[in-house]
Amino acid sequence: MVTVEEAVIAKLKTHGQNFEVLVDCNNAIAVRENKQVNMKDVLAASKVFTDAKKGLEASESTMNQIFQTADAEEVAKQIILKGDIQLTAEYRNSLREKKRAQIINLIHRNGVDPTTHAPHPVTRIENALEEVKFHVDEFASVEEQLQEVIKKLKPIIPIRFEVKEIAVKIGPDYAGKAYSTVKKYGTILREEWQNNGYWVAVVEMPGGMETEFYEKVNGICRGEVEAKVLKTK
């Protein structure tokens, strides 16, 4: 639980009333992103205020009338989801930069150029975002913003999100070492340990990860690996 001194105020004005709660900044943002967070880790105090700085608490009757509950955690969650979280400009900028980096990484790892089927370089995606002047919402999740980003980028750089099924066959000397690495790159759909010690599997992964996957596995297996694309979706 965050201390009162470290907490920031989340507030909501509704039905002519003001409601405020003292929250941990990072956990409150996680709530806004619909992540599973224990509200006890969000609130500095299990109280709802009309004025947090003055310590004036909201009445249970008013909360019941407006929120249909007087439970402080339930009311706080609605305040966080529907209201404003008071952040410093520096913190907002930090959040936006973090989200921007996550968006760029997601496009790089999952999207490909449909003409070459190769991933777009990170710098190319960064420059394209600058060109279209895309505003990153520090409160919206990366997934929520992705479709709008792609819509704006497509006139500048062609992007298609592909999923590939790749068959791999690794010899007994390296199968154990490579297994965890293969698993990191996608979902193992089928696998089999053969009598001769070879491990064969079909892995589903984002198309943009194909080249990096080959390089990583080849590095571990010292070239003693067979791989081919079975299907592109």
Q: Lowest-pLDDT range, 11-20, 62-71, 136-145, 178-187?
A: 136-145
Among 63, 85, 107, identify where a domain stops: 85
Q: In this predicted model, what pLDDT tens digit does every residue of 186-215 receive, in sequence order? A: 999 999 999 999 999 999 999 888 988 999
Q: Can you say whether residue 213 is alpha, beta or left, with left for phi > 0 and alpha for psi between -120 and 50 degrees?
A: alpha
Region 66-72: mean pLDDT is 96
Q: What total number of domains does the chain contain?
A: 3
Together in a domain, 104 and 134 = yes
In a domain, 195, yes or no: yes
Contact 229, 210 (CB under 8 A): yes
Strand partners, 12: 19
pLDDT band per the 50, 70, 90 thresholds, residue 180: very high
Whether residue 124 lies inside any domain: the answer is yes
Q: Are residues 142 and 178 in the same domain?
A: no
Rounded-to-5 percentages of helix, strand, coil across the chain: 45, 25, 30
Query: Can you tell me whether residue 100 is helix, strand or coil?
Result: helix
Q: Judge residue 107's burial from the number of C-beta atoms within 10 Å of its C-beta, 0-12 exposed, 13-18 middle, 19 or more buried.
A: buried
